[in-house]
Amino acid sequence: MPPGCQRKRVNNEKINKKVKESIDIMRGARLFLINLVDRISIEKLNEIPDGFNNNLAWNFGHVIANQQILLYRNAGAKPVIEDEFIDKYKTGTRPESFIDEETFETFKKNLIQTIDKFEEDSASNMFENYNAFELRSYPGVTLKNISDAAKFVSFHDGLHVGYSMALKRALK
C-alpha cells in the first residue's frame, strides 16, 4: 500500500454484501496496478508505446476519474476528487502533458484512498438515490443502483489492469 494510506475501520455490516465484494475486487485490482509499475521510471510511465493511445500514468488517473463519475456523480453525490481532475481523465480523454513523479505518487495514494472513502460512504445511505443510466460504451447495459455501479467499476478496474499489463510489455 502506498505511504500515507491508512484505512479507517468501517462497519461492514452496514454495507450491501454485493457492494462490499466489488470494493474488495477494486482494492485488489488497484493494489495490483501499484505493484505493476514499481521500479518503472516516471519517463516510461508517461511513454505512449506504438499502437496505444495512452500511457500507464494516464491509466491511473482514468481509473480514479471513472470511479468518481460512476459512483459519486451518478448518485448525485459530491465526488471526492476535484472536477477538473475527473474531466481531464474521464472516458474520451488522452494524455495531455507529462505527469511528474510527485503527481504520480498522488495518483497512487488516490487509487486506494478513493476506494477507502467509497467503502466508508457505502456504510451510510449516501447512494440510495442513484440515477440509473445506460452505459454508452456497453449498449444495453444499465446501471440501476449503486450495487450495479460498484460491480461495473470493479470490472472496469480489471480491464485497465489488463491494459496496463499490455502497456508495460510494450515499453521499450
pLDDT tens per residue across span 18-31? 999 999 999 999 99
What confidence tier does 34 reach under pLDDT thresholds 50, 70, 90? very high
Mean residue pLDDT of the chain comes to 92
Residue 28 placed within a domain:
yes
Higher pLDDT, 8 or 167: 167
Residue pLDDT, tens place only, 75-128: 999 999 999 999 999 999 999 999 999 999 999 999 999 999 999 999 888 998
Residue 137 placed within a domain:
yes
Taking the CA atoms of 93, 5, 43 and 82 in sequence, report the sign of the dihedral they define. positive
Residue 1 placed within a domain:
no
The residue segments making up the domain with residue 72 are 15-170
Check which CATH number belongs to the domain holding 59 and give it: 1.20.120.450
Helices 101-122, 146-170: inter-axial angle, 10-degree rounding = 160
- Number of domain units in the chain: 1
| 128 residue type, one letter | E
- pLDDT at position 14 is 62
Q: Is a pLDDT exceeding 60 seen at residue 40?
A: yes
Residue 91 placed within a domain:
yes
Residue 165 placed within a domain:
yes
